[in-house]
Structure 1
């Protein structure tokens, strides 16, 4: 009988999870009904939605569903609930360090401005970490579809909270709407202020998008980055520089970046020496959380337990977790690997 170690007991870091997209589907339904808000079929009986964002219309639909989900978070207590439940789900998956990404602009109007919104979310993160025992931090993300000056403002805000829960500065949304190099100044502000540079790239656009993140934004990690596999030279650069990619297989399939999970180049990138941090991206819209990504590594990409353990190590090394915690969790990975496997 095949033997396998339980993946939920493997200590790991989750570095690619968006705030709104981390909401439980059951919570979305409950909050919408409580406020008498209508949800489209794709977010209710036909959930998870059938998405394909490789064209403008598809991305618009994805963004529309995301905005509808955001609309239920109208009160501070809902923010606290979302973050607490997310932390609980992370612990259940074996995640011991979480960096949750948020664009305060999406909530600023209802929560008293950018600063008040970020402080609300940082407090929710602190309380959730205390409640569950997981280490947590925030990545402030700019929106590619907005003007680069808005990104500069967010970078300056994020830097004010360096060492107070904010660890990185990101860039998300549709790559086709804004090249990475247009946001170079914002990332210079963030890096000068001691934050990690963690922009999205190489999801809806190809290797050039990844290269811009590295060359123009000084990326410490690249969100997604899977399209780098289309360029052998770029893969080599990422491996040589040890720039981790936050690979989200279920998301890639959900948005049409890959036809099937088997088509996401996790194995190729890993074998090329590119550090990988598996992520769930937006479980609310894609229907799966972090544990499923590790199951895919084992069941679809053919990773042995030793290789799965190395994936977990890579996620921890790529994180902003304090060094004592990181070392403790790396030791936990070694202990997981040395434990006796259980019957499947």
Structure 2
């Protein structure tokens, strides 16, 4: 078996605060006297479930606590730099990190100032690590759809200047998907990728709403399309990318174990799949871990893993020249002696 850390790959599903290293969380919390719950200290990674709204609330509370340790501009720069370093170590060559600026604007001078900070941090991290980095701005489906329009206009303002997509995150069971359509129309006119979450906590009907109302060209998760063959066929034919995050699917109780994550079903249907880590801070597994767990759970061959790497690259918004370069490197990985 070839070394998965050497397989070139793009990372398309990584949340901003959720990308933080555990040791960084502990260090920043100690610096400012922030008391963390035991599930983020000695019991880390926390035991989570989102089978009901109470379970999701506990998950979101931990996320909010983690966000609270980011107090200075240097904290933000450190988070982005370390996320880039971690991806590079795992074979990442392109990263699209997702952030909702409204969650940080109050502390960092507003959503525009915070977006400027993140983009500058991404540029610096790209220069120091060699990793290509872009940003996806995401709205929160638990907030009013008008807030999403504000963020869509912000994302459109930065289209072509480091922002490549517009998303919709948080509890999939909250809000009405179609009410966010005007926000996604703004992003679509700006030429951004449309990347809402759908098809993880809810099933095929949620995915159809994302496709029909939001014109999604990528789906955050989308894994439950495996439950509806006709829907999965539609996704495959349209080339909609599924950002599958196996470790978080199991941690949140969507599937009982990694062997139940229906990756083989998705691949057999011809779907484009990009494996992602989602929130390593809460789920305890980074990018390479998603490939390793799927290799072990489904006995994937190196050829299948290489194709997963290719699909992540093709599904990204990386420059075409970089995509060509990385696809060639995937071929080289597959040609190399497994013992090298």
TM range (shorter): over 0.9
Choose 132-141 or 170-179, whichever is displaced more: 170-179
Aligned length: 340
Calculate the TM-score normalised by the size of structure 2.
0.99
Match of 2:322 in 1: 325
Q: Does 1:75 align with 2:80?
A: no
Contact 1:22 1:282 in 2 (8 A): yes
1:54 is displaced (CA, Å) by: 1.4
Q: Which aligned pairs between 1:152-167 and structure 2 lie closer than 5 A?
A: 152-167=149-164
Matches within 5 A, 1:97-108: 97-108=94-105
Residue of 24, 29, 53 corresponding to 1:27: 24
SS in 2 for 1:108: coil
Cα-to-partner distance string for 1:184-226 (whole Å, 9 max, x where unaligned): 0000000101111000000111101111111111111000001
The 5 A counterparts of 1:1-344 are 4-342=1-339
5+ long unaligned stretches in structure 1: none
How far 1:297 sits from its partner (Å)? 2.2
Tell me the distance in 2 between the aligned counterparts of 1:146 and 1:54: 21
Report the Cα distance in structure 1 between the residues aligned to 2:268 and 2:337, rounded to whole angstroms: 26
Q: For 1:225 and 1:269, how far apart are their aligned partners in 2?
A: 10
Rounded to whole Å, the distance in 1 between the matches of 2:239 and 2:181 is 21
Distance 1:211 1:137 in 2: 27
Report deviation, 1:175. 0.8
Q: Which moved more, 1:290-299 or 1:83-92?
A: 290-299
CA contact (8 A) 2:4 2:91 kept: yes
Per-residue CA distance 1:41-62 (angstroms, 9 max, x = gap): 0000000000001101100000
Give the gaps of 5 or more residues in structure 2.
Answer: none
